[in-house]
Amino acid sequence: MSINYEKIKNWPFAPVEQTYTEKDSILYALGLGLGADPLDQGQLHFVFEEDGFSALPTMAAVLGTPGFWVRDPETGIDWKKILHGEQGIKLHRPLPPAATVIAQTRVTEIIDKGEGKGALIYTEREISDKATGEKLATLTSTTFGRGDGGFGGPTVAQPQPHPLPDREPDEVCDLPTAPQAALIYRLSGDPNPLHADPKVAATTGFDAPILHGLCTLGVAGHAVLKICCDYDPARFKSLNLRFSAPVYPGETIRTEMWRDANVVSFRAKVVERDVMVLNNGRVEISD
């Protein structure tokens, strides 16, 4: 069974209502490694529910998810061969530390790269505050279906990634991940056993359970928030990046940043293996 373009383009996503609490916001931050230095006042604002408590901007990525919808046989997608290729987050206002949100997902496009070359599935998710109706965030995601090319869909060129400056980084930030990082992060909404069970990881070719891609994104977002926003989440406006390679819990993520006015370009690598794990990153910040 192959992808039916019209069926996927009009996939009937139901609205998702989610209530999260201060405890959930803290758990998300702990999953990214904040609080590793309990004397760091900047980090404390995201893991202690008193003075100045805030939600991390990148937490928007785990709110109102539609679940593993590509596993539905009716999609025709070979779900065992999919990869999370790109992720975007646009914040319309700072996330409240606790709220009930309504999320609506839609497929915006499917690009056929050709037989044996895969397909690109683009989705968008709008997140709004149920109490006020205010739009909180817009999430965009690109899924690479490695086994889905040649279904007869559009073959238009995919959007080009954000180019990184051709100079040495202006800032570098090393952040360690804990050996148990994936076991904590999975409690924020992604229970895939690939990130917890060594036996499952081995069947997919990994030496050990890997860190969630969105957790790696969150660690790089933490680096930008720390270095370029002085831990002020209101200054963090948007993020876009490409995933390049997985991270193993316990490894150190080095985020290299370039500042150009209100745009921070970045990439991230694992220090221990010298492997690029995030690339073509772009964050928009305010003064």
Residue 213 annotated as catalytic: yes
Catalytic residue among 213, 218, 221, 281: 213
Alpha carbons 287 and 285: distance in angstroms, whole number: 7
Catalytic residue among 26, 153, 195, 218: 195
Give the CA-trace dihedral at 162, 168, 170, 174, to 10 degrees: 90
Q: 135-145 and 119-129: which strand pairing?
A: antiparallel
Catalytic residue among 210, 227, 253, 285: 210
For CA atoms 260, 275, 68, 95, give the dihedral sign.
negative
Residue 42 annotated as catalytic: no
Report the residue count for the chain: 287
Alpha carbons 100 and 21: distance in angstroms, whole number: 9
> Number of C-alpha atoms within 13 angstroms, CB side, residue 109?
12
Residue 89 annotated as catalytic: no
State how far the alpha carbon of 36 is from the alpha carbons of 69, 133, 135, 229, in Å.
35, 36, 32, 19
Residue 210 annotated as catalytic: yes
Active site residues: 190, 195, 210, 213
